[in-house]
Structure 1
Amino acid sequence: MFAFPEQFSNATKANLESQFALMSTLTSKTFEGMEKLVELNINTAKAALENSSATARQLLAAKDAQEFFSVSASQAQPSAEKAMTYGRQVASIAADTGAEFSKVAESQFAEVNRKVISLVDEVTKNAPAGSEAYVSALKTAISNANAGYEQFSKTTKQAREAMETNVNAAVSQFTQAANKVAAA
């Protein structure tokens, strides 16, 4: 006789503990990302307020309409550059948080996979004669699930890289447009 229910009970307990650890880690990473984003927003708001105040003082000190419009025009490019920098920083925070999520999920999946394979190996050692086909089917199902996860992981990484490339291209185009406007 073998301890089949005990093995699955222990495996279930370990799986629940792993899931709790995963959720705790992902929650922690989410809060870290949000903390970075809030800090960026506070710093950006402070800088924008200081810049707006300085610009308002310059505009109020303008002696004529030409000086007023000159001061206004001189603020266009720095403002566009600050907006682009902010966008890059937000994209960086999002990319870093996404990378951390992927790393944690991959690590967790590898650990769960190792435990499942270990459990299957342990159970199959004690399996009754004639159950080889079922054991083989179970191992094939696990192998297929792993292949599916690996493909999903690869596709997710490609999508994240494509998004980063698109954001960088958009920022580059915006920079070029802002430079042309400022030059004109």
Structure 2
Amino acid sequence: VEKHQEKLRAQSKLMYETLYAEQIVPALLEESEAVVTADHLHTMHQALETVETDLTETIDATEAVEERKTRRSERSVIRKTKKKCADLRDRELKYTAQLEILGDRNSYSKTDPDATFMRMKDDHMQNGQLKAGYNLQIATNNQFVLGFDLYPNPTDTRTLPPFLHTMLEHFRHLPEKIVADAGYGSEANYEMIMDDY
């Protein structure tokens, strides 16, 4: 998504610079701004619609055949540019929405945006597959479930800090000893437990 958005923004910038040079759209960007946003593209689309309407009125009012042909070809170029501008705007909005859903994850499922693609355990055919899923964390004491939470990140090392924080909110204090398997072991987690809990 980031690569596609980068290419799209380069195309948008080039279109803006061309339309600005031809005095079709007003100045939309400051000198320091490098990104043409969806709002800029919408403004460009409206300016192109105005130009198209003016050309249509001119064509309707013109009697000379050659001048009408010239104006029609100009209008054709404006219509194509307007369509391209609308396409760029819609794609910019789509990519921005996808990046917002993605957050700090590296993937998400289109059917369940909260789920992340994770490498699941092998099935009976020994096929390890990427599937949309959640990382379930459960806290127990003497085989009683004290609490649970779902996380979108696939690794346990990154779920331990928020899970301990959730447990602390529910119970106001944590047990003297926290026992977890090796999947939670990282220097950052050890330091976090020693400093915060």
Give the TM bin, normalised by the shorter chain: 0.3 to 0.5
Structure possessing the higher relative contact order (Cα contacts under 8 Å, 6 or more residues apart): 1
Structure with the largest fraction of strand: 2
Structure with the largest fraction of helix: 1
